[in-house]
A = this chain, B = another copy of it.
Amino acid sequence: MKKFNPLKTDKKKTLLLEAFNNSFPARNYLIVHQANEFTSVCPKTGQPDFGIITISYVPAKKCIELKSLKYYLQSYRNEGIFYENVINRILEDLVGILKPRWMEVKGEFTPRGGLNSTVTVSHGKNKK
């Protein structure tokens, strides 16, 4: 495990992301992708964390390609990063590439010591 700096974009990660053109840009519509097998590492204990990441957005000109999103999320597998930070980082990276009209990223993490946690971050106003 290496500790990951959540405050700036990691080029090796964002280069994994691919966008494709939205065929219906005139319409405000909602796309939701749920990744059920997210895992990273707790930077404090070195123990693996597990969670479900849900990415919801109203596209503008671009949509995210699913396979590239899978590789991007897998790139956190051996990174040491807190719940709050990884969710903010994913939002910022996806907003940077897609410039969506609205986006929300939610992480629901499995229990640690009898406590389970959810972090939800959003960008823009949901016009849908």
Contacts and interface: CB of A to CB of B under 8 A. Distances in A.
A118 to B, nearest CB: 4
Given A66-B117, A113-B67, A114-B110, A37 B50 contact: yes
A70 B117 contact: no
A68 to B, nearest CB: 11
A27 B120 CA distance: 11
Count copies of this chain in the complex.
Answer: 10
A128 B122 CA distance: 9
Contacts of A39: 37, 39, 48
A114 B111 CA distance: 8
A6 interface: yes
B85 A23 contact: yes
A30 B120 contact: yes
16 contacts: A23-B84, A24-B85, A29-B84, A29-B120, A30-B121, A31-B117, A33-B116, A34-B116, A35-B114, A35-B115, A36-B111, A36-B115, A37-B39, A37-B110, A39-B39, A66-B113
